[in-house]
Amino acid sequence: MSFRTTPSVDYVEDVSPGSGALPPRAWYASSDARSLSLNGSWRFRLSATAGAEDDSFADEGYDAGNWAEVTVPGHWVLQGDGAFGSPIYTNHLYPFPVDPPYVPTENPTGDHLRVFDLPSDWPSDGGAVLRFDGVESCARVWLNGTELGEFKGSRLAHEFAVGELLKPGVNVLAVRVHQWSAGSYLEDQDQWWLPGIFRDVTLLHRPAGSVADFFVHASYDHTTGEGTLRVDSDVDGRVLVPALDIDVATGEPVTVAVEPWTAETPKLYDGVLATDGERVPLRIGFRTVVLEDGLVKVNGTAVLFKGVNRHEWHPERGRALDLETMREDVLLMKRHNLNAVRTSHYPPHPAFLDLCDEYGLWVIDECDLETHGFTEQDWRDNPVDDDRWTPALLDRAARMVERDKNHPSIVFWSLGNEAGTGRGLTAMAEWIHGRDPERLVHYEGDWNCRDTDVYSRMYAFHDEVEKIGQQLDGGTHRRRELPFIQCEYAHAMGNGPGGLADYQELFEKYDRLQGGFIWEWIDHGVKHAELGYAYGGDFGEELHDGNFVCDGLVFPDRTPSPGLIEYKKVIEPVHIEGDGANGIVRITNKQDFADLSALAFEWSCQVDGETVESGSLSVPALAPGGSAEVKLPEPPVDGRGGERQWTVRALLAGDTLWAAKDHVVAWGQFAVGARPLPSFPATDRPALDDGRITLGPARFDARTGALLSIGGVEVGATPRLDVWRAPTDNDDGAEWQTDTRYGVLWRTLGLHRMRHRLVSVEAGDDALTVRSRVAPAAREVGLDTVYRWTSDGERLRLSVSVTPEGDWTVPLPRLGVRFGLPEADRVEWFGGGPGEAYPDSKAASMIGRWQSTVDRLQTPYVRPQENGARADVRWVELGGLRIEGDPEFWFTARRWTTEQLDAARHRSDLAAGDTVWVNLDHGLHGIGSQSCGPGPLPQYFLKAEPVEFSFVFSTTR
Ligand code: GAL
């Protein structure tokens, strides 16, 4: 005889989607049916295993008085100061043995209890539904002691009929949540594993005769300007759209003249679906999405997607996002010229989609499905190719489509991410195509496009993208007929991405290339008392992927990173280019739908970076794709012969939903003439006196040739050749990219420990010349370096010439000089700004006069790395010095050395020392996005080759 001693938790490892839940349906907030939010503080008990506790906590009268509390929506691992476990970050590895559908016995299980009062005026007619908008990863639910069922599918809504069970007065809702379940095998997205009831829990009254499910079909015929509306509803009723004089029965089509919905012109019509029992607000956007002539067209026009991948993230609350945070994402996207979002890699909170409808963003809505970890075993046992799992896959597809089908912003349904290929995916695609033929299907893993309506790839390099644009990429017959998007590209990890402008050029050049979605929106840093922001490994995970989780265009607190500023410039909706010498500016409307009537233009003219004149520019309201040349006024005459340049800006002509009047959407700059280089007669002669050499305002150590001071400014460390930078995530590259990971190759070569051998110090007639050889231990390669100092009596000029010796097989990280100043805070410069720039990420660097402080020059990448360079600097002033470049240079200053920056893992490891370290660089190596994609393109390589460059120093005190 045998008997079982543990309670049955078989449902946890059951591949089925669950039992007891209602069929999926449209998600909406009723105008008049009552609802009760069950968000708030819940009683909470954590167990180490799924079966540790019996079900008695679900019984009425159970005393949970000694339980802890958690906030719902929320993840328990982010609450309780570590008492409830901690987050785990893995990219694609399952943090448990791959043994589908089984999960570890150690399966953190959170019992949640919520006692609530049913309001006394809660209607007694009809029924009620209990809705969970998101629970990770498996939940079993009881109301007043009766089990309702269990479900999986973390980022999908699940509803239960509870009308019969509700009681007047006190009700008890019990939810048991297991961190791991069979569903976890389908949710292997690159993100933190965060169990909990992380989205809303709501009780909905369902009056008799209320809407069950409905489907708004609102198409637009661009040839007639008419829209056709038909609202299908399970329960008959009427559809009212007052602004269009529409009053029709459900199921009946009606065609009227309308303004279409596009992401650029998100016109929504308010309507109502009225049934006997309920009024449902509708927000109707008329648009038609088709695949035609091998292109994705909306309302007859091909769209260029300027998108981003958005995970839901908040540094303290994880994936439990409030409405304001969602709105902040949308506002930031709109203000930075983005027009599209892929909801990687699961359907977002539905309120986010409402915002996309309202503010205007094209959406790829992606299903909650990823099985990436199976790649470790060549995709053997992959659930998407195993019929036993197909019901779960179809359930997920249906829960996405049914919930979100009434959003005009959604143009693609995505089957999921990185799940290999298989019959289950095909079944999903077939079901979706059948249920919603009015949208297209996306899935990146399907390179043959068997199931999809677009050829989608991630991180394809520029040259391959170009081939695809030219239709030279081959592929199946089906694929050759499809447009191309990069559902992920330009990995925004750490400093970068570089190479964005080069991608955009390709997207704009070839029709077949319909744009892409940057990976990704936000760094998933977890707020941490000591570390600032934590990433993988900071919670002692046994398997983790470090800071690969911090790869967004905005920092964890949503401050835009330089990558976002760069992207905004690269995708600006208006192109402004000029012929400065002839005073002509060419304006091109790069939008797909809107003319330029929402924008105003202004010109300004700068002399040496300072605006001396400005005015408005009259530009015709060009149609999409149109361009015009506009004459600028005569440039101001500058008696001093300074550098003159035009700046032309496109601004919002009035307030919009997403930004106020005068918000800058695009700009262009062009020179009136070339920059006059500093002239410098070398008139002074070095003089030796008591171990010191004096040359103009400067003093040097006669033995070493080290610069000691200029005028009254002490130089803490003499300018020396510097080639090292703290490798960026993109320099280090992803593990799988073996031959071009220069961050690694540089270190192997020893560029982080260069030695300086002094060859000679020679005081000549008009110059002090210091020769040295700069090279790493154990290698024969080196850089022959000559520092030539001259003076005109007041100023000091340093000319550096560098001659590489030996066989340099790698580019240099940087090439310039580094020196130290004992004091410096305020910084002013004339050059590129206001933010950082690198050779392949400098589109947004605007030439002007900028001010900052040493601290504010730093870009706070979550994992410290090279950052903060300013491009095209003509001169900079700091610490009592003025430094002019011949030619322009890259400027960086920080309160720690590059070596300290390199050693730091978190920003909290960086402590300001008593020296400000200044780098004046002649060149920097490009950035690229090799942390997942391509490295810098060849034109952004900093090759080791002979060069000469100069700086002129003077004092400002
Ligand atoms: C992709 C994946 C994303 C993310 C990215 C790298 O392969 O789809 O989820 O992991 O790489 O950050």
Cα 433 off chain centre by: 30
Pairing relationship of beta strands 410-414 and 440-442 according to DSSP bridges: parallel
pLDDT at position 85: 97
- Cα of 559 vs centre of ligand 1, distance in Å, is 22
pLDDT at position 396: 98
Convert the pLDDT of each residue in 935-951 to its tens digit. 999 999 999 999 999 99
Q: How many CB atoms lie within 10 A of CB 287?
A: 23
Going by alpha carbons, the residue nearest to atom 2 of ligand 1 is: 190
Residue 674 pLDDT greater than 90, yes or no: no
Convert the pLDDT of each residue in 72-85 to its tens digit. 999 999 999 999 99
Nearest residue to 547 (alpha-carbon basis) of 400, 730, 698: 730
Average pLDDT over residues 42-60: 96
Is 366's C-beta closer than 6 angstroms to any atom of ligand 1? no
Is 305's C-beta closer than 6 angstroms to any atom of ligand 1? no
Residue 4 pLDDT greater than 60, yes or no: no
Nearest residue to 43 (alpha-carbon basis) of 129, 193, 172, 154: 172
Which of 193, 519, 522, 732 has most ligand 1 atoms within 8 Å of its beta carbon, as the pocket-test mutant? 519
- Cα of 190 vs centre of ligand 1, distance in Å, is 6
418 is catalytic: yes
Going by alpha carbons, the residue nearest to atom 11 of ligand 1 is: 932
pLDDT at position 757: 98
- Cα of 516 vs centre of ligand 1, distance in Å, is 14
Return the ligand 1 atom nearest residue 92 CA: 10
Determine the straight-line distance between the first and last CA of the chain, rounded to whole angstroms: 95
> Cβ distance 75 to 51 under 8 Å?
no
Is 418's C-beta closer than 6 angstroms to any atom of ligand 1? yes
Convert the pLDDT of each residue in 888-914 to its tens digit. 999 999 999 999 999 999 999 999 999
Return the ligand 1 atom nearest residue 548 CA: 12
- Transcribe 288-306 into DSSP letters: -EEEETTEEEETTEE--EE
Largest alpha-carbon pair distance within the chain? 107
β-bridge partners, 815: 923
pLDDT at position 3: 59
pLDDT at position 636: 82
Residue 150 pLDDT greater than 70, yes or no: yes
Residue type, 142: W
**With pLDDT > 70 as the criterion, what percentage of the chain qualifies?**
99
Is 417's C-beta closer than 6 angstroms to any atom of ligand 1? yes
Rounded Cα distance, 386 and 223, in Å: 46
Rounded Cα distance, 925 and 840, in Å: 9
> Cβ distance 839 to 936 under 8 Å?
yes
- CA distances to 179, 208, 330 from 240, rounded to whole Å, are 45, 21, 29
Rounded Cα distance, 935 and 742, in Å: 9
Return the ligand 1 atom nearest residue 344 CA: 9
- Cα of 491 vs centre of ligand 1, distance in Å, is 9
Average pLDDT over residues 83-96: 97
Q: Taking the complete model, does pTM exceed 0.85, yes or no?
A: yes
Rounded Cα distance, 369 and 418, in Å: 8
- CA distances to 202, 228, 249, 252, 374 from 246, rounded to whole Å, are 32, 11, 10, 11, 52
Convert the pLDDT of each residue in 599-623 to its tens digit. 999 999 999 999 999 999 999 999 9
Is 162's C-beta closer than 6 angstroms to any atom of ligand 1? no
Q: How many CB atoms lie within 10 A of CB 299?
A: 23
Residue 721 pLDDT greater than 60, yes or no: yes
- Residue from 150, 418, 643, 888 carrying the catalytic annotation: 418
Residue 957 pLDDT greater than 90, yes or no: no
> 903: helix, coil or strand?
helix
Going by alpha carbons, the residue nearest to atom 4 of ligand 1 is: 190
Which of 308, 488, 548 has most ligand 1 atoms within 8 Å of its beta carbon, as the pocket-test mutant? 488
Which of 89, 90, 91, 489 has most ligand 1 atoms within 8 Å of its beta carbon, as the pocket-test mutant? 91
Residue 742 pLDDT greater than 90, yes or no: yes
Residue recorded with tokens 């280019």: 577
- Cα of 737 vs centre of ligand 1, distance in Å, is 15
Average pLDDT over residues 253-280: 98
Enter the tokens of residue 205: 């009254």
> 528: helix, coil or strand?
strand
Residues 6+ away with beta carbon under 8 Å from 841: 496, 497, 498, 499, 500, 562, 563, 566, 927
> Cβ distance 305 to 325 under 8 Å?
no
Q: How many CB atoms lie within 10 A of CB 477?
A: 8
pLDDT band at 580 (very low <50, low <70, confident <90, very high): confident
Going by alpha carbons, the residue nearest to atom 6 of ligand 1 is: 932
Residue type, 801: S
- Cα of 471 vs centre of ligand 1, distance in Å, is 26
Is 458's C-beta closer than 6 angstroms to any atom of ligand 1? yes
pLDDT band at 673 (very low <50, low <70, confident <90, very high): confident
pLDDT at position 677: 84
Convert the pLDDT of each residue in 744-778 to its tens digit. 999 999 999 999 999 999 999 999 999 999 999 99
Convert the pLDDT of each residue in 343-393 to its tens digit. 999 999 999 999 999 999 999 999 999 999 999 999 999 999 999 999 999
Residue 417 pLDDT greater than 60, yes or no: yes
> 435: helix, coil or strand?
helix
Average pLDDT over residues 65-76: 98
pLDDT band at 108 (very low <50, low <70, confident <90, very high): very high
**Which domains are delineated in the chain?**
10-206 (2.60.120.260), 214-288 (2.60.40.10), 291-569 (3.20.20.80), 573-671 (2.60.40.10), 687-955 (2.70.98.10)
How does the average pLDDT of the chain come out, rounded? Answer: 97
pLDDT band at 679 (very low <50, low <70, confident <90, very high): confident
Convert the pLDDT of each residue in 447-497 to its tens digit. 999 999 999 999 999 999 999 999 999 999 999 999 999 999 999 999 999
pLDDT at position 551: 98
pLDDT at position 2: 62
pLDDT at position 6: 58
- Residue from 159, 402, 466, 488 carrying the catalytic annotation: 488
488 is catalytic: yes
Nearest residue to 952 (alpha-carbon basis) of 874, 857, 862, 839: 874
Nearest residue to 601 (alpha-carbon basis) of 581, 578, 571: 578
Residues 6+ away with beta carbon under 8 Å from 208: 125, 126, 276, 277
Average pLDDT over residues 668-676: 92
Going by alpha carbons, the residue nearest to atom 3 of ligand 1 is: 190
Going by alpha carbons, the residue nearest to atom 9 of ligand 1 is: 190
Is 732's C-beta closer than 6 angstroms to any atom of ligand 1? no
Convert the pLDDT of each residue in 817-826 to its tens digit. 999 999 899 9
Residue 1 pLDDT greater than 80, yes or no: no
Helices 350-359 and 323-335 pack at an angle, to 10 degrees, of: 30
Rounded Cα distance, 267 and 287, in Å: 10
Is 551's C-beta closer than 6 angstroms to any atom of ligand 1? yes
Is 91's C-beta closer than 6 angstroms to any atom of ligand 1? yes
